[in-house]
Amino acid sequence: MAMYLRRAISSRNSIMLLRSCNCIIQTRNISHHLLSNSGIREAQNLPSFDFLKDHRRGFAKGKKSKDDYAGDTVQVVHDIGPTIKAGAASQMEAAIVALSRELAKLRTGRASAGMLDHIIVETDGVKLPLSRLAVVAVMDPKTLSVNPYDPNTIKALEKAIVSSPLGLNPRVDGERLIASIPPLTKEHMQAICKVVSKSCEDVKQSIRRARQKAIDTIKKAGSSFSKDDIKRLEKEIDELTKKYVKSVEDICKAKEREIIGG
């Protein structure tokens, strides 16, 4: 009887052990199945990494080379042609002004207020141009009046005028000086005309130098101009030069007529 009981208990324990093992195996299979399905679902839900490839492709397409950037660069080129012309014209005009000032100093047979401007007067140890000390006016074609700002300088003014190469002998008339313009001799006329001719040539040379300077500037800035622009600018500078040279010649001829006509 005891033997039968031990066998029954042993058989029962074996059955229970087998059931426990089956449960464990089933549990493991279920867990593995769940994990596999979950992994598939998670893998399906994960975002695709193809967008990185797409972005790389897009960046590669959008990337510009140095040449592309160079092509997009806007180069601002300033037109310096008008500046060059204006500079040349300014120098030529200054030469004309200087000529007119020099010719005004020359004595002719007619009275001219500017003929005394170049005279230097020394008063109280200070040397000043006559135009700073007095007002010169034309009374008639043959007479000048010199009106000093300070009557005390009248003697110094008289001395300076007499000492000048103009050959004038002013006289005191109250608080002013009266200077009569004597007629020019033939020799004096010829000498003055030579001075006018020389001044004319000197000024024309100054104008031509201004032209050459402008042409050189255009050539140095050749990369800023097309060939057509260079030719056009050179032509305009030449026309400007001819204009001022003719103006000089007209001024000098008018002065010579004034000298000879007395």
Provide the mean pLDDT of the chain.
76
Give CA–CA dist 161/105, Å, rounded: 13
* Top-confidence residue, 253 or 109: 253
Among 65-69, 76-80, 135-139, 154-158, name the one with the lowest average pLDDT.
Answer: 65-69
Contact (Cβ atoms closer than 8 angstroms) between residue 96 and residue 244: yes
How are beta strands 171-173 and 134-140 bridged, if at all? unpaired
Q: What is the pLDDT of residue 30?
A: 47
Q: Which of 1-10, 71-80, 197-206 has the highest mean pLDDT?
A: 197-206
From residue 50, give the alpha-carbon distance in Å to each of 53, 59, 163, 249: 5, 14, 106, 87
Read off φ and ψ for residue 105, nearest 5 degrees. Answer: -75, -20
DSSP code string of 54-111: HHHHHHHHH---HHHHHHHPPP-----HHHHHHHHHHHHHHHHHHHHHHHHTS--SS-
* Top-confidence residue, 103 or 27: 103
pLDDT tens digits, one per residue of 49-102: 444 444 444 444 444 444 444 444 444 445 677 888 899 999 999 999 999 988
pLDDT bin (cut points 50, 70, 90) of residue 44 is very low
Q: What is the pLDDT of residue 26?
A: 53
Residue 16, amino acid = M
Give CA–CA dist 111/20, Å, rounded: 147
Give CA–CA dist 72/128, Å, rounded: 64
pLDDT tens digits, one per residue of 26-37: 545 544 444 444
